[in-house]
Amino acid sequence: MNSSLSASATLHINGDRLWQSLMSLAKIGATPKGGVCRLALTELDRQGRDQFVQWAKDIGCSIRIDEIGNIFARRPGRNNDLPPVLTGSHIDTQPTGGKFDGNYGVLAGLEVLRTLNDRQIRTEAPIEVVVWTNEEGSRFVPVMMGSGVFVDAFPLAETLAQTDAQNISVASALNSIGYAGNTRSQHFPIKAYFEAHIEQGPILEARQDTIGVVTGALGQRWYDITITGMEAHAGPTPMELRKDALLAAAGLIQSVNRIALTHAPHGRGTVGWIDNFPNSRNVIPGRVKLSVDLRAASDEVLSSMDAALHAACRELRADSTLAIDIEQVVYFPPQPFHQEQIQAVRNAADQLGFTHTDIVSGAGHDAVYLARVAPTAMIFIPCKDGISHNEIEDAKPEHIQAGGNVLLLAILEQAGIASAGS
């Protein structure tokens, strides 16, 4: 076992302090139902960012902000010429978000730095905690914006020009909250990237495991589909003469479900948004727009699902007089994580005596993009009933602490211990 990990066997974070930090941050944008609404690049996001920056400065970190608003808090190492170990996540939320999604990964990283200060531990390599901009994509698209720009997945200029529903651009919003940084938004050499996160699903809770060792993330393809028929009066129009767009959409939704079930266990298929026109109770629908979200653990399977979806659309066209247009709007391939960093998470969980299981992330995370440029792994902890993107999202304090301790040991295995106080 790595000597750094052995030397840190008795080292633990302050779980109460981490919990209190989470609860303090959750007050910024708190909702009546106990959740958080803190959309990216709003005034509330500014307050959350300011709080993180102040906490990081309080423990001696230097701060830099890049052109897309990503925040890096750096704790120096003995050899600052070494690539840093990064950890972090995001603090923007869904409109009806919870206290833990993203926030946990950021504040667990901050707590690791606080603990190292408490114990007067100096690492060989520097450690940085990062807050990525607009991971959720609730106000601006694309999702995982800050990490995507960082790894060159999205051109900076085009991303800054994206606008929200009020036609406010990303660039304007960054300027208005004071987080348009001057550091170049581009990746640099990184020793390792770790991201702690609630699972956002039910597997760990069902298995009664404390830690999810995340081996990778599902690939995703998103589509916008428009089905065009003809509006007509619901009474006088015989069934066999109708051009009912919603009826065709119902069949397509069933096809999406079958496609995912055919590609078990990691196939996913979801229709999450429908726009039905004219949406009147006594008018046959003439146009339906809907979204389709396909996910899979391998690109081969994801391509098979894509082919099956297109085949379903062709079949609907052949069986009716409807027009069906399909446009792919998002694609990123399945992303395996790095074996050395995955093993660092396993080693830490074993050292601490936590039950753990390998798991594939069904959701997109900033780690998916970071894995393109740095050795990456994620640490999952259970969340109550597997619920996330919801104001009732919850996690147990003991799991919050456990994940933080695994993160601490995994980071030390990669950063190395140069010296330690008493």
Same domain, 78 and 170: yes
417 — phi, psi (to 5°)? -100, 120
What is the C-alpha to C-alpha distance for residues 372 and 238, in angstroms, rounded to an integer? 56
Report the first-to-last Cα separation within the chain, whole angstroms: 23
- Tokens representing 148 are 């995507």
What is the C-alpha to C-alpha distance for residues 245 and 286, in angstroms, rounded to an integer? 5
Same domain, 194 and 232: no
Same domain, 187 and 62: yes
SS (H, E, C) 303-360: HHHHHHHHHHHHHHHHCCCCEEEEEEEEEECCEECCHHHHHHHHHHHHHHCCCEEEEE
- Tokens representing 78 are 């003995």
**What pLDDT is attached to residue 228?**
97
What is the full DSSP assignment across 207-220?
Answer: HT-SEEEEEEE-EE
Same domain, 304 and 351: no
Same domain, 285 and 298: yes
What is the C-alpha to C-alpha distance for residues 324 and 173, in angstroms, rounded to an integer? 37
What is the C-alpha to C-alpha distance for residues 205 and 339, in angstroms, rounded to an integer? 25
Would you call 71 helix, strand, or coil by DSSP?
A: strand
What is the C-alpha to C-alpha distance for residues 264 and 262, in angstroms, rounded to an integer? 6
Which CATH number characterizes residue 397's domain?
3.40.630.10
Dihedral sign for Cα atoms in the order 264, 212, 73, 53: positive
Same domain, 168 and 302: no
**Interior angle at CA 48, CA 44 and CA 49, nearest 5:** 115
Tell me which of 332, 354, 381 is where a domain ends.
Answer: 332
What is the C-alpha to C-alpha distance for residues 393 and 383, in angstroms, rounded to an integer? 7
Tell me which of 294, 310, 332 is where a domain ends.
Answer: 332
Q: Which of 400, 415, 409 is nearest to 197 (CA)?
A: 400
Same domain, 132 and 151: yes
**What pLDDT is attached to residue 1?**
44
331: CB partners within 8 A, 6+ apart: 219, 220, 221, 222
Range of the domain at 387: 3-218+334-419
Same domain, 186 and 313: no
Same domain, 197 and 209: yes
Which CATH number characterizes residue 295's domain?
3.30.70.360
**What pLDDT is attached to residue 408?**
98
Same domain, 369 and 279: no
Q: 326-331 long-range CB contacts below 8 Å, 24 or more apart?
A: 326/223, 326/224, 326/225, 327/223, 327/224, 327/225, 328/221, 328/222, 328/223, 329/222, 329/223, 329/224, 330/142, 330/143, 330/220, 330/221, 330/222, 331/219, 331/220, 331/221, 331/222
Same domain, 83 and 189: yes
- Count H helices, E strands: the chain? 13, 18
Q: Residues of the chain whose pLDDT is less than 70?
A: 1-9, 422
**257 sits in which H/E element:** helix 245-262
* Total domains in the fold of the chain: 2
Same domain, 328 and 361: no
Tell me which of 312, 332, 352 is where a domain ends.
Answer: 332
Using a 10 angstrom Cβ sphere, with 0-12 exposed, 13-18 middle and 19 or more buried, the burial of residue 236 is exposed
